[in-house]
Amino acid sequence: MSMDPQELLSLCKRRGFLWPAYDIYGGLAGLYDYGPLGAALKKNIEEHWRALYVLGEGFHEISCPIVAPEAVFKASGHTDAFSDMYVECTKCGETFRADHLVTGLHEAPASLDEKQLGRLLKENKVKCPSCGGELTDPKRFNLMFRTSVGAGKGKVAYLRPETAQGMFVNFSQVYRFGREKLPVGAVQIGRAFRNEISPRQGLIRLREFSQMEAELFLHPDHKSWPRYKDVKGQVLELVPNKGKPVKMTLEDAVKAKTIANEALAYFIWLTYKFAIDVGLDASKLRFRQHLEKEMAHYAADCWDLEADIGYGWTELVGIADRGSYDVQAHISHSGADLTAFERFDEPKEVEQQVVRPNFGALGPLFKGKAKQVADGLSKLHVGSVAGKDGVTVEVDGEMCSVPSSCYEVVLKKEKVSGRKLVPHVIEPSYGVDRILFSVLDHAYTQKDDYVTLRLKGLVAPIKAGVFPLMARDGLDEIAGAICNELTKAGLAAYYDDSGSIGRRYARMDEIGTPCCITVDYESKKDGKVTIRERDTAKQLRVEIAKVPRAVETLLSGGGLEPVSALR
């Protein structure tokens, strides 16, 4: 536990990072507005993520709709949550699947709605299996927001509960765009929605939130990434689901099977780099492997980046090897061919024995059904035909006896130049709002009553404060001009001439502005201004013309030393 989250939330509200949404109407739990500083911070975090994944790793960024038809979530398994109805014991509080309690009392419990289930439970006087207490009426958990598209009854649709599905369903497009090579990656930054039962803890559990997700599609036998070799010697602290926390290199972790494969290891590393870059405190971060029971049944491996913040250890990022589950699910449900083609080094001649129907004999015998019988014959294994006088083939539920004169077993030669394969997926999934809140939490420092947000230059919403020591005698004009120059250089600057100079510094410190520029009476004589570094309160005189470069230098880290070396 690092600090009281309420204090941080107060600051956020006071200074324009965050506001409870729709506050004048009493608000709505689980929704927050980002104020100007919060929106800027969020943008900076997202921008850096984009720089790493899109520019750095060559992932393809796409942007899919938030509303999606029901079929998508039937395939993904998300609608399964709707069929789960729960009852709670009024005495001991334990919860049970309602359909499980009526097994044996009804032929198809899963088909019942909550009223029918409730009646069935009452009629049969079903009590709590563990303590015998009274049960509540069945309730369904509905974690997706449901809506309908179009007029009248419309078509059932949902707000996406994650951005990932948009990338899975677009695999073929992304694959083709990437010139039909594996691995290929897609990313998406966007909003997702979950109708949480009880959202709490500020930005940690929202009903509408932002995700940055990447889907890396890989060859199932080659789960690596080109840059793995550059980072494999890096050491990370890992909390595996078996044994004690360990400090080891990525290479050792993969060799020891602590991390399932090289690609997963690489993106764990990239996640760590991202976290440090945006200013999270390394001593308050850990990678925790999902427990066996926590992991989805199809997942080969899954690691969470957790941060220690005021609420305790909190999941910020999940990095999972999802195998072929998602893509395969969409293949099965949609019938689309979401496969990659693996070309063999040399085309192979494949010889195969197949059953070939003899239409000359089938036609007169089966007339209109001949085609269907032939199809059935083609599907038979050679082994089930060999040495028999005839076989039976099912046509429209009817068994037809087919004499051996109607088919023959032949050797078929085929040239095969490759094979289709369903890609495996490694999914790094980042919760933007949680990351943003953790960045603030880790940046928050307090000395007596003086609060400083030690935000890194990369993410700070405002890069520099610019003040005239006095708002007169032309100092204000010089300061205004400097402010303009900074803005022109793409650096968000904030002009302030109200109150004492100390108060103005304090204002900037509290919102994490990395440096301040002060114009004083000397400036008019020597053309220099004071640049002050937030975290040390140290100052340096620099020429006005060099201010934008000085600020840039300071933002890139390393303090005032490199600034004084500027020429």
List contacts with RNA (CB under 7 A): 5-6, 10, 13-14, 20, 26-30, 77-78, 80-81, 88, 93, 95, 139, 141, 143-144, 161-162, 194, 196-202, 205, 296, 311, 449-451, 469-471, 473, 498-503, 505-507, 510, 518-521, 529-530, 532, 537-539
Specify the residue, 83 or 332, whose C-beta has the smaller distance to RNA.
83
Rounded to a whole number of angstroms, the minimum distance from the CB of residue 6 to RNA is: 6
How far is the C-alpha of 100 from the C-alpha of 106, rounded, in Å?
10
Rounded to a whole number of angstroms, the minimum distance from the CB of residue 450 to RNA is: 4
How far is the C-alpha of 560 from the C-alpha of 425, rounded, in Å?
45
Specify the residue, 285 or 469, whose C-beta has the smaller distance to RNA.
469
Crossing angle between the packed helical segments 262-277 and 36-50, to the nearest 10 degrees: 140
**Cα–Cα–Cα angle for 317, 76, 267, rounded to 5 degrees:** 30
Rounded to a whole number of angstroms, the minimum distance from the CB of residue 377 to RNA is: 43
* Sequence-separated (6 or more) residues with CB below 8 Å from residue 404: 388, 389, 390, 391
What number of residues does the chain have? 567
* Sequence-separated (6 or more) residues with CB below 8 Å from residue 125: none
Specify the residue, 262 or 509, whose C-beta has the smaller distance to RNA.
509
Q: Give the count of beta carbons closer than 10 Å to the beta carbon of residue 499.
A: 11
Rounded to a whole number of angstroms, the minimum distance from the CB of residue 86 to RNA is: 7
Copy the structure tokens of residue 327: 């893509």
Copy the structure tokens of residue 179: 């010139």
Copy the structure tokens of residue 62: 């796409």
Specify the residue, 97 or 219, whose C-beta has the smaller distance to RNA.
97
How far is the C-alpha of 478 from the C-alpha of 51, rounded, in Å?
35
Specify the residue, 262 or 306, whose C-beta has the smaller distance to RNA.
306
Rounded to a whole number of angstroms, the minimum distance from the CB of residue 52 to RNA is: 24
Which of 213, 182, 186, 216 has the alpha carbon at shortest distance from 339?
182
Rounded to a whole number of angstroms, the minimum distance from the CB of residue 136 to RNA is: 7
Specify the residue, 358 or 530, whose C-beta has the smaller distance to RNA.
530
**How far is the CA of 149 from the CAs of 40, 65, 69, 159, 391, in angstroms?**
33, 13, 9, 11, 51
369-375 long-range Cβ contacts below 8 angstroms, 24+ apart: 369/395, 369/400, 372/396, 373/400, 373/402, 373/406
Which of 52, 432, 440, 441 has the alpha carbon at shortest distance from 272?
52
Which of 66, 211, 78, 77 has the alpha carbon at shortest distance from 147?
66
Which of 80, 84, 114, 112 has the alpha carbon at shortest distance from 96?
84
Rounded to a whole number of angstroms, the minimum distance from the CB of residue 305 to RNA is: 15
Which of 436, 506, 445 has the alpha carbon at shortest distance from 15?
506
Rounded to a whole number of angstroms, the minimum distance from the CB of residue 445 to RNA is: 11
Rounded to a whole number of angstroms, the minimum distance from the CB of residue 371 to RNA is: 43
Rounded to a whole number of angstroms, the minimum distance from the CB of residue 14 to RNA is: 4
| 373, 402 contact by CB (below 8 A) | yes
Return the bridge partners of 238, or none.
246, 287
| 416, 344 contact by CB (below 8 A) | yes
Copy the structure tokens of residue 58: 């060559």
Specify the residue, 254 or 519, whose C-beta has the smaller distance to RNA.
519
Rounded to a whole number of angstroms, the minimum distance from the CB of residue 175 to RNA is: 25
